Structures are given as C-alpha cells and as structure tokens.
Chain A
C-alpha cells in the first residue's frame, strides 16, 4: 500500500463526499423549520441537473447557467413544499413522507419523458486536467465541487446569522409558535427553507454531473449516501455533514480501489447500519425512521 496512493484516493473521494454533504445539508434546511424532509430530493437533484444541461445546450455560458439552475431548483423546492408538505404539516400528520416520494417519482417519469433514459455527458468549461496540490493530484473539476459546496453553505450560514430574515429562520427552527407571536410567518419560512433546499440540491447536481454524467437514475446512489451522512451526522450540524460526507467519500474511494469497484457502495451502507444500531434514536430517528 503506497501512502501517496492512499492520500490520492482519500482526497479524491473526500471531494466527491462533499456532494453527499451538500445534499444532506439540503435535508437539514427543511428539517430545521418544519421537521420534514423531501424524500424525493434525489430526483430534485436530477431534474435540476437536466434543466441546467438544457440551458447549456441552448448556448448559455456556464456562469449564467448556474444561477438559472439554482433558480429552477428553488422553484421545484417550492413545488414540493406546496404540493407535498404544506397540507400534511397543517394536519400535523406524516403524509409528507409518502407525498414527497410520489412527487419524486413524478419528477423521475417526467425526466425520462423529456430528456430520455440515457446518461449524458455534462459539458463544463472547468478543466479536468490534474494539478498538483500538497502532494496529490486533483483536477480543477474536483476542486470546483469543494468551492461550490463551501460557497453555498457559507452563504446560507451567513444569511442565517447576519440578516433579520435569517434570524427569523432560526427562530422558527427553535420555536415555531413563539416565532409566529413575533409576526414571523412560519408558513413562509418553511417555503423559504424548501426554496433554499431546492437550490442546494440543484447546485449538487450541477457540481457532480460533469464528473459522473446526467441521467434519470444519477441520483439514486447519491441520495442513499446523503441519507447515510444525514443519519450519522444528525440533522442540525452543517459542520457535521461536511465532516461525515468527506469521511464517507474517502472511505468509498479507498474501498473501491483496494477491494474492487463493486465495494464502492459498501461503506455508506455499513455506516448507515452502524449509526442506526448504535444511535437508533438519533436526531433523525424521532420524526422519520421510527414512523416510516
């Protein structure tokens, strides 16, 4: 085992793991305000990636395509909130679980019909040539993942801490009823969180697609890992998902290199099972896993 190869694999994997972290972060955003998450988040990643691909094919430059994709993601997030979550929450029920899964299936079918079943390359101006950083080779494309993930998470955290609307977001997370008494509309705050979560999902799709490809099933593996990360890290620590995401990514990359590519999916599942066995009532457990 050559340590430089281990380092290489770990760094590459960790950068990919940031995509899992970003999707898990999207879960955290809606969980904070509404104690609900979008079980069709993977499909949201996928349709946003396809939409961004269409924007690119229409000739839009990368730097205009990205905000376009984020806007589309936010809109789709709002659709999920309106169609799948709001009524269920008003009735204080768990119907959002099934409804968000169904909306995800709908997105999946729509994508197959609009864009086809094949995986397609996602063109990007960012180079895939390796550059040498601290003893390992990484591509600009992989680095763009890290830049994108940290940029959007940083912006959202800055928004929450520095703006009054962001503080209101935190207030609804802390005590929804008391926030209402301050004049803060909990319904609008939940909408905001689904919009943000949709944008975050869209960015995950835009960042990962040039490395993988775009296809209707692109998100099924991603989403499983994102769930594992969310379960292990808990649903309230942005720092936690980044750490666990990078750890899981590195582990996968090493497993696939040393044990064979068939083992790539194993660490995520093992981590998930371990977390559920050791922390069955984790932050995540209370509202969802027990009731699903």
Chain B
C-alpha cells in the first residue's frame, strides 16, 4: 500500500535521510523506531510531502507521490497525524474533525450531513471528544489533543495513516490509552505506519518493524525477530 525506496531528504544542505526504504502492506501496522535524531520524523514528513525528498520514490497505492504538495498527497489517501499533534487550536473540536475529511466533502454547504457517519464513528471511538465538540481544540489536554489528531486523521478514511510519536509528552496512563486505540485501529484493518519512542510498546502492537539509525534503516524484521536481535535489545529494548 505504501512503499518507500531509497529516500533522501534533508533541511538545507544537511541531508538527514540517506536512503531510507520501507514497505507497509495493506491492513498491517508497521512500526518505525530508533533514537532521537535518527530521522524518523523526517521520514514521515518526506512521505507526506511536508518536506520534498531530493531523491527516491514514495509509492502510495500504486501511484508515485514524491515531490507532490502535501495537500495533494493527503487527497490521494494519506493521513498524517504529525508529531506534536498540530490540532487547529482556535477552531472547535468538531471543526477540526470536519477538516480531517476536507478532501471528500462539499466546500460550502451540506458538509456536516455528509460527514455525520464518520463523526459518529470517531465520537464512538473517543467519547471525550463528543462532550467537547464545541470547545476550542487548543483548550483540550494533551491526551485529548492526541485523540483529536488521530480522530482527525481517521475522518479522511485514509488508505494509509501515519502516526508520529502519538505518546509524546503524555502521562503513562494516557499512553496506555493511546496504544489501546492503536490496537483498535489495527483491528479495524487500517493500514498504519507508527513512529514511536516507546520501542517496546510499539513492537507489541506492530506486525513488522524497522529500526532507523543515522538516516537509514539499520535493522528490520517482525517484532519477534527484533526482540531476539542483540543490537536492538541493547539499544532500544534494554
């Protein structure tokens, strides 16, 4: 569903990604782990178009998307819940969710009716958000904002969803809640690429995982394989 080949990207003259390659098959959850600064978030940004790759290919559902605008890639079926959540603070929770479905809703009138089924689904998944539907997203707690960011990405009915550090800065009990949601998404058959600092938790939910080091994939395998890899254990699971 999502295939990345020989991806090079960076900021200015410094190249962060030096040939990243990964594959996310339909209906699977793939985890991308690695130390801070290894290039995980940069990989996500280069896939979703926030950063233009200088070399390499990104294939989404059979179509090459590298170099396209982020908005274009999003409309082709890639939803990216970015690091730091990036909810639209001044807008209401419900408006945030509606904008998640922007690509397939009418621009002027009748968009709410058309999105109602998706809204109900997200509210069922995150009952808190229904209670706060009219509240400005910026006033939510960190955990609620993360739920909103995931819900917003779901609204797009994406072919592939990228989740970047969904547990960042959250209390342990909320982190558990986040992973419960991720499991639920996986059960619903959503294709997911997850970047996580909690390597252990990520490997518990993932079908396949990549370990990044210095801008490229150092090790890859099923969680069972990686859990036996001494290098991985020493660096990330110890």
Chain A residues in the interface with B (C-beta under 8 A): 163-165, 167-168, 170-171, 173-175, 177-187
Contact = CB atoms under 8 A, between A and B. Distances in A.
B99 A171 contact: yes
Interface string B74-111: 11000110100011111100010011101101111101
Given A164-B105, A180-B50, A182-B100, A171 B91 contact: yes
A165 B107 CA distance: 5
Contacts of A168: 99, 102, 107
A187 B91 CA distance: 20
B74 A182 contact: yes
Contacts of A164: 98-99, 102, 105-108, 111
Contacts of B99: 164, 167-168, 171, 179, 182, 184
B98 to A, nearest CB: 6
Interface residues of B, number: 32
Given A163-B107, A164-B106, A180-B74, A174 B100 contact: no
**Chain A interface secondary structure, helix, strand, loop or mixed?**
helix
A185 B107 contact: no
Contacts of B103: 182-183
Nearest to B107: A165
Contacts of A183: 71-72, 74-75, 102-103, 156
Contact of A174 (B79, B82, B91): B91
B69 A185 contact: yes
A178 B45 CA distance: 11
B159 interface: no
A183 B79 CA distance: 9
Given A170-B88, A175-B86, A184 B102 contact: yes
A174 B48 contact: no
